[in-house]
Amino acid sequence: MMNIRLLKNKDIDILKWDKRVSSSQNARVYALSWFLDIACPGWYGLVCDDYRYVMPVCVASKYGFRYAYQPVYAQQHGIFPLANADIADGFMSVLQQNFRFFEIQVNGCFPLKDNRLELEEKANYLLDLNRAYDDIYGTYSADCRRNMKRAARVNVIKPGVEPELLFRLKKEHSRLPLDDKTFAMLEGIARAAVQRECGFVRAAYTNDGEPTGAALFIRFGQRILYLNAVSSPKGKKNRSMYAILNSVIEEYSGSSLMLDFEGSIVPGIAKFFAGFGAKPEYYQKIKYNNLPFLLKKLKK
């Protein structure tokens, strides 16, 4: 029999939690305690036995009901390490006992048996860097290589720039301005990752020194995560993000790492990722709605 408990983070043994996440085959930086503290202060965790399996749960309240949700900048959580169907069903049952509504995203694809759960498959994009750079470049699409030729002429790439450049460009050039809470979350994640020496910001400049784009990457486990990025109008014209990503691919080519582009339901962005030779990796969005009738309609 499994003993699965829903614990508030203050009652969780953080050392055991982080060790379990880090040692898992499906390790994700989003599930580490420091990342959760920023993305979802007051987070909870499902803990099976003595941290044999763990699962982050981000909780909020509305209309007097608690619900579990997937926070911004955390693409996917799930059960660590990978779980079979019986264990996954046990975790989902505990969620249903504690929440009348949840909408979460989990790594791996659970063959869940409960037909009250709505499942949606989503695509992430991964690029295997365990090849020579020339071999990887050879898998770029014709359109990507064409954009790279322009990018190589007009961009100067600088590694290890301060996160403040990313923040400034986000404030000036984000297509959809971020609210204060979301922006503070991005700042917190970026600063914490850089301080822990697992994150870095890479930027593109014109030949005369004008910054045109920046991206935040986090290295954890076997992945380099392309977490957030922004380009100015000139950066879009200069294909600055092509140059930034290509520089990371070139630097880490021949390693055992994967470049994790994260996914997108926007076809143009998905095409951009695939243009570098990245392949889809699938994960699940799981929704459960047992709210009263009127509230259920509001959450549809």
Instruction: Taking the CA atoms of 8, 10, 16 and 21 in sequence, report the sign of the dihedral they define.
Output: positive
C-beta of residue 186 within 8 angstroms of C-beta of residue 228: yes
* Model pLDDT, residue 280: 92
Rounded distance between C-alpha atoms, residue 210 and residue 168, angstroms: 13
* Model pLDDT, residue 300: 52
The verdict on 85 and 160 lying in the same domain is no
Rounded distance between C-alpha atoms, residue 181 and residue 217, angstroms: 21
* Model pLDDT, residue 295: 60
pTM to 2 decimal places? 0.94
* Model pLDDT, residue 293: 61
Q: Which domain holds residue 64?
A: 4-123+283-298
* Model pLDDT, residue 249: 98
Rounded distance between C-alpha atoms, residue 93 and residue 117, angstroms: 11
The verdict on 81 and 179 lying in the same domain is no
Amino acid at the residue 22: S
The verdict on 37 and 64 lying in the same domain is yes
The verdict on 94 and 156 lying in the same domain is no
Rounded distance between C-alpha atoms, residue 231 and residue 238, angstroms: 10
Quick check: is 264 in a domain? no
The verdict on 10 and 95 lying in the same domain is yes
Any idea what the CATH number is for the domain that residue 21 is in?
3.40.630
Quick check: is 108 in a domain? yes
Q: Residue 128 forms beta bridges with which residues? A: 258
Any idea what the CATH number is for the domain that residue 158 is in?
3.40.630.30
Quick check: is 214 in a domain? yes
The verdict on 114 and 144 lying in the same domain is no
The verdict on 59 and 148 lying in the same domain is no
List, for the chain, all residue ranges whose pLDDT scores fall below the cut of 70: 293-300
Q: Residue 201 forms beta bridges with which residues? A: 161, 216
C-beta of residue 260 within 8 angstroms of C-beta of residue 124: yes
* Model pLDDT, residue 112: 78
Quick check: is 268 in a domain? no
Rounded distance between C-alpha atoms, residue 6 and residue 29, angstroms: 21
Q: Dump strand ranges (E) for 221-267.
A: 223-231, 258-260
The verdict on 80 and 148 lying in the same domain is no
Query: Cα–Cα–Cα angle for 264, 266, 267, nearest 5°?
Result: 105
222-267 residue pLDDT tens: 999 999 999 999 999 999 999 999 999 999 999 999 999 997 777 8
* Model pLDDT, residue 265: 72
β pairing state of 223-231 and 258-260: parallel
The verdict on 157 and 110 lying in the same domain is no
Quick check: is 266 in a domain? no
Quick check: is 274 in a domain? no
Quick check: is 276 in a domain? no
Quick check: is 275 in a domain? no
The verdict on 225 and 109 lying in the same domain is no
Number of structural domains the chain divides into: 2
* Model pLDDT, residue 296: 58
CA–CA distance from 6 to each of 1, 77, 93, 167, 168 (Å)? 16, 15, 11, 36, 39
The verdict on 248 and 290 lying in the same domain is no
The verdict on 111 and 213 lying in the same domain is no
Mean pLDDT of the chain: 93
